[in-house]
């Protein structure tokens, strides 16, 4: 990893560059999102992650426009919510997302969660394929620069890839110390899929872990900065969220230190220290 700033990019399989740290907006209320996103762009983020279900796309779009940063310099991701699966519903949901964000294209659009067998039985794979057909069309039309999935495990990816014309470029999954998802990360990395880490702080649960705090102390860094750096050193793209400008800044200030192999191994070995650790095959939303 040779990154020196959060605007340095990973390269997706279609040659699109994606800034190596994204700014998360989950649970950022609609009325806070405008200011938070403007501040995130002002402190230097150029990659914003939202989703239809967060209910804040309008504020995210306003924050982008309030900043002095041209739209073309910002990498903007949104996600299709679970109630909108299938070809027609996906097309309509995408239009609504663009409308709420006030933009005419997305940089990345993701299926937020796979349809699973628990909810959809034998129809699950077919439904994911049908949703993906709409994603492929949106991609071919140029209205979205890259397409991908979220919370897909290797078996969901294998099923999708068996019928896809365009292979997913990204899988956004929960990854943080204590929940490294090594198998899913290895699968994606072997198949040209960029992994993004949602909940890089385990939704802040992992930040008091003594191992992370001690490793941070050795480098003059916080446990949060250790989490971000650990993801990057695994070639995983972290999406830290904070509504506080000082934390936004600190969370991207990770390019002046390096975790050594012993530290990486100690963090890799952590278990059960927080986060949701949800199994996408078991969720019922």
**How many angstroms separate the CA atoms of 58 and 248, rounded?**
21
Q: Around 204, how many Cα atoms within 13 Å sit in the side-chain half-sphere? A: 7
Tell me: does residue 244 bind ligand NAP (CB under 6 A).
yes
**How many angstroms separate the CA atoms of 132 and 137, rounded?**
9
Residue (of 144, 75, 85, 147) closest to 113 by Cα position: 85
Angle (CA) 111-191-112 rounded to 5° is 10
- Contact track, ligand NAP, 48-87, x by CB under 6 A: -x--------------------------------------
Has 234 been labeled as part of a binding site? no
Q: What is the token pair recorded at 197?
A: 């880490």
Phi, psi of 110 (to 5 degrees): -125, 145
54 given a catalytic annotation: yes
Q: What is the token pair recorded at 189?
A: 């990395």
Ramachandran region, residue 182 (left: φ > 0; alpha: ψ -120 to 50; beta: rest): alpha
Q: What is the separation of C-alpha 270 from the centre of its chain, rounded to a whole number of angstroms?
A: 22
Out of 76, 98, 175, 250, point to the residue binding ligand NAP (CB under 6 A).
250
Residue 127 C-beta: closest distance to ligand NAP, Å: 18
Tell me: does residue 150 bind ligand NAP (CB under 6 A).
yes
Tell me: does residue 232 bind ligand NAP (CB under 6 A).
no
DSSP, res 176: B
Out of 224, 228, 237, 267, point to the residue binding ligand NAP (CB under 6 A).
224
Tell me: does residue 181 bind ligand NAP (CB under 6 A).
no
Between 122 and 243, CB nearer to ligand NAP: 243
Tell me: does residue 193 bind ligand NAP (CB under 6 A).
no
Between 140 and 213, CB nearer to ligand NAP: 213
Tell me: does residue 97 bind ligand NAP (CB under 6 A).
no
Active site residues: 54
Binding site residues, ligand NAP, CB under 6 A: 24-26, 49, 112, 150-151, 172, 198-204, 207, 222, 224, 239-244, 247, 250-251
């Amino acid at each position: 990893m040779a990154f020196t700033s959060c605007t340095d990019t990973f390269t997706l399989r279609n040659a699109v560059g994606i800034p190596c740290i994204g700014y998360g907006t989950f649970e950022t209320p609609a009325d806070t999102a405008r200011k938070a996103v403007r501040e995130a762009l002002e402190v230097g983020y150029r990659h914003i992650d939202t989703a239809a279900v967060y209910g804040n796309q309008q504020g995210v779009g306003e924050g982008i426009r309030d900043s002095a940063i041209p739209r073309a310099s910002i990498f903007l991701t949104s996600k299709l919510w679970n109630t909108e699966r299938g070809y027609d519903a996906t097309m309509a949901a995408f239009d609504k997302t663009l409308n709420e964000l006030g933009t005419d294209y997305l940089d990345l659009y993701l299926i937020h969660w796979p349809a699973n067998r628990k909810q959809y039985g034998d129809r699950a794979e077919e439904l994911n394929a049908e949703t993906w057909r709409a994603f492929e069309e949106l991609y071919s039309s140029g209205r979205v620069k890259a397409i991908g999935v979220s919370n897909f495990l290797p078996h969901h990816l294998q099923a999708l890839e068996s019928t896809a014309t365009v292979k997913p470029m990204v899988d956004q999954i929960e990854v943080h110390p204590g929940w490294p998802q090594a198998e899913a990360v290895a699968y994606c990395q072997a198949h040209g899929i960029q992994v993004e880490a949602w909940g890089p702080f385990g939704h802040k649960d992992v930040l008091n872990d003594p191992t992370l705090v001690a490793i941070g102390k050795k480098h003059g860094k916080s446990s949060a900065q250790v989490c971000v750096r650990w993801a990057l050193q695994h070639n995983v793209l972290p999406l830290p969220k904070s509504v506080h400008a000082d934390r936004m800044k600190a969370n991207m200030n990770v390019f002046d230190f390096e975790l050594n192999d012993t530290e990486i191994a100690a963090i890799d070995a952590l278990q059960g220290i927080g986060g949701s650790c949800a199994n996408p095959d078991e969720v019922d939303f």
